């Protein structure tokens, strides 16, 4: 066996500091998933010719699990000589991988390098167009026939802004950059035109705004073959929701619609059984019970991006498409049409600004600028809970001639004295001062003019949608989202939206349109999803009945026994207004 295990005197990677904190972002691939990815690569690739070696790459070798699985899947299927290439920033890991491969496949040529793959894959390419940013194949960069990868998963917050911005610049990414985003694009620079890559990544990029540039780049740089979303299957011993992408080098023909499968845990009754998660993927659409007792909902279809290269990825099936088309036909507007969705205030010093024990202070020490604040602690469907010790916030902002301004503390002596007692902490928020703001301001105060208006407020991460109406003029904290009507005279639109948002219809709409679940069936109700929720025509008889019933639920919300039957009736009305016959106008 010919080996080339190159080391550099100082193999410092761009994420070496991150590596010490997060073990290189490494989440080692379990054998069952490594074998699955390897099989998909081999099945999707053409039979290798024997006139040259088959060049295989793992850009983040780790302990060599992926390469071993790929070699085992290729074993006996080709007599072509194999060259293994790999990059790794951890010398002991690279050596261990080499030893494992050497023992099992002594005839394979190894070319491992103790380097950061991104430093290789981001080099300028011959033929680069400065105007378009398009990258063309060049002779300097080597190319590979098969690539298998589980890139390091390191979030922007861990990378640090400087490193994240540098990676974003090199790979033409925008938004919040995760390290695996750069790996996905770097791999496209070294995959041959007829080559096949299988990549294990977090599924976050499929549905978040931050992943839009990655989704677009995937369409521009690859021919997508297949996608699997493994959701909350817990294949890794870490809080990662993995996905697998099988990609082919970009060719002239890119018309094939990629297949897309998803598998998420559910409590629904099973319709079939399988030994494990991987075996469950071979079953038809439905709920599969595996040997450890867990049940999973399997969806099989094609990849739909909403006719946009950077659109949210979802599993498209004939039944889902028909359902969504029916809903679209009965949709009068979306939530974004009636109001702007915002996240709540962010003080960056909650212990100072937000308290529930203001009454414990002497009256002479209580700030004048206290306002009631809504937090996730009082979250409840339709009507908020009443806290034993309501929280209040020092809110030093006002609106002057249509513009937000910080208040003049000299006019509020008790507020000034309180904030001055914490000045050393508040003034240490350097980003606030650098932005030309006063030291005592809330970092993200939102619109002071809107707090007194009726508001729709909701939780972010929750299994069931939890939306409620705030009629008490509270400030909303940053652990919740909120919206008000653009036209205050059309308040019934907000009540109509409240009914839709809390319905089981909204859950189904979310799952079919956005395809974003977390562990234990929880969903993320954030701006990019909720702003697309549909609203039926407010002029229909059914919508007017929905509004009046929603107001009744709000009034009785604290009495769960009385509202249970009414909420079930309300839920049925929401389904009917979107999926029934077109309702008459009242």
- Give me the pLDDT at residue 263, please: 94
H-run or E-run covering 374: strand 370-374
Angle at 394 between CA 390 and CA 398, to 5 degrees: 125
Contact (Cβ atoms closer than 8 angstroms) between residue 223 and residue 251 = yes
Domains for the chain: give ranges and CATH numbers: 3-119+143-256 (3.40.50.150), 258-316 (no CATH), 324-339+485-586 (no CATH), 344-455+474-484 (no CATH)
- The pLDDT value recorded for residue 3 is 53
What pLDDT sits at residue 239?
63
- pLDDT above 70: residue 107: yes
d(CA 388, CA 357): 11
The three-state secondary structure class of 26 is coil
Quick one: pLDDT at residue 237? Answer: 67
Instruction: Work out the average pLDDT over 152-158.
Output: 64
Share of the chain above pLDDT 70, in %: 84
Mean pLDDT, to the nearest integer, of 259-288? Answer: 93
Q: Read off the pLDDT of residues 474-528 as tens digits, 9 standing for 90 and up.
A: 999 999 999 999 998 899 999 999 999 999 999 999 999 987 777 677 888 989 9
pLDDT of residue 141: 82
Mean pLDDT of 267-277: 94
- Confidence (pLDDT) at 405: 95
- Does residue 135 have a pLDDT over 50? no
Within its chain, how far is the Cα of 304 from the centroid?
A: 17
Q: How far apart are CA 70 and CA 36, in angstroms?
A: 9
Rounded Cα distance, 101 and 103, in Å: 5
Residue in this structure with the two tokens 């004048």, named with its chain if needed:
368
CB 77 within 8 A of CB 48: no
Say which range, 174-183, 198-207, 244-253, 275-284, has the weakest mean pLDDT.
174-183
Cα distance between residue 227 and residue 247, in whole Å:
9
């Amino acid at each position: 066996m010919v080996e080339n295990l190159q080391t550099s005197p100082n193999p410092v990677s761009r994420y070496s500091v991150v590596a010490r904190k997060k073990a290189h972002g490494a989440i080692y691939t379990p054998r069952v998933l490594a074998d699955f990815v390897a099989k998909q690569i081999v099945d999707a690739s053409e039979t290798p010719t024997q006139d040259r070696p088959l060049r295989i790459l793992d850009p983040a070798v780790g302990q060599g699990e992926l390469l071993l699985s790929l070699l085992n899947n290729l074993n006996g299927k080709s007599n072509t000589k194999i060259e293994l290439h790999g990059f790794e920033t951890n010398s002991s890991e690279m050596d261990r991988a080499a030893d494992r491969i050497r023992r099992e496949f002594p005839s394979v040529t190894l070319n491992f390098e103790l380097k950061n793959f991104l430093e290789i894959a981001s080099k300028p390419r011959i033929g680069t167009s400065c105007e378009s940013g398009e990258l063309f194949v060049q002779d300097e960069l080597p190319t590979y026939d098969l690539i298998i990868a589980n890139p390091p998963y390191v979030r922007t917050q861990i990378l640090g802004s400087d490193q994240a911005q540098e990676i974003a610049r090199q790979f033409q990414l925008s938004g919040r950059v995760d390290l695996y985003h750069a790996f996905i694009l770097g791999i496209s620079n070294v995959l041959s035109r007829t080559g096949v890559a299988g990549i294990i990544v977090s599924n976050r990029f499929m549905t978040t705004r931050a992943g839009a540039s990655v989704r677009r780049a995937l369409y521009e740089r690859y021919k997508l073959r297949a996608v699997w979303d493994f959701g909350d299957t817990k294949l890794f011993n870490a809080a990662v929701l993995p996905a697998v992408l099988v990609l082919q080098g970009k060719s002239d023909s890119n018309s094939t619609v990629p297949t897309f499968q998803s598998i998420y845990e559910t409590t629904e009754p099973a319709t079939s059984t399988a030994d494990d998660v991987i075996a469950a993927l071979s079953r038809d659409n439905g709920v599969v019970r595996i040997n450890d007792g867990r049940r999973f909902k399997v969806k099989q279809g094609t990849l739909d991006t909403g006719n946009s290269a950077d659109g949210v990825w979802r599993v498209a099936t004939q039944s889902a498409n028909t359902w969504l088309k029916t809903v679209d036909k009965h949709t009068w507007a979306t939530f974004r049409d009636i109001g702007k969705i915002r996240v709540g205030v962010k003080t960056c010093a909650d212990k100072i600004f937000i308290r529930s024990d203001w009454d414990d202070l002497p009256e002479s020490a209580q700030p004048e600028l206290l306002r009631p604040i809504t937090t996730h602690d009082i979250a409840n469907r339709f009507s908020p809970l009443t806290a034993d010790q309501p929280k209040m916030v020092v809110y030093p902002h006002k609106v002057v001639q249509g513009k937000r301004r910080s208040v003049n503390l000299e006019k509020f002596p008790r507020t000034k004295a309180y904030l001055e007692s914490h000045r050393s902490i508040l003034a240490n928020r350097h980003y606030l001062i650098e932005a030309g703001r006063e030291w005592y301001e809330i970092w993200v105060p939102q619109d002071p003019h809107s707090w007194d208006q009726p508001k729709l407020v909701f939780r972010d991460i929750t299994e069931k949608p939890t939306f409620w109406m705030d009629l008490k003029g509270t400030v909303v904290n940053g652990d919740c989202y909120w919206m008000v009507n653009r036209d205050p005279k059309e308040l019934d639109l907000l009540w109509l939206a409240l009914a839709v948002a809390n319905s089981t219809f909204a859950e189904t709409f979310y799952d079919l349109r956005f395809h974003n679940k977390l562990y234990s069936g929880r969903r993320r109700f954030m701006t990019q999803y909720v702003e697309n929720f549909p609203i039926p025509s407010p002029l229909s008889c059914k919508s007017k009945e929905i509004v009046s019933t929603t107001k009744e639920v709000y009034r009785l919300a604290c009495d769960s026994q009385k509202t249970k039957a009414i909420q079930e009736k309300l839920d049925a009305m929401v389904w009917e207004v979107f999926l029934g016959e077109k309702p008459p106008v009242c």
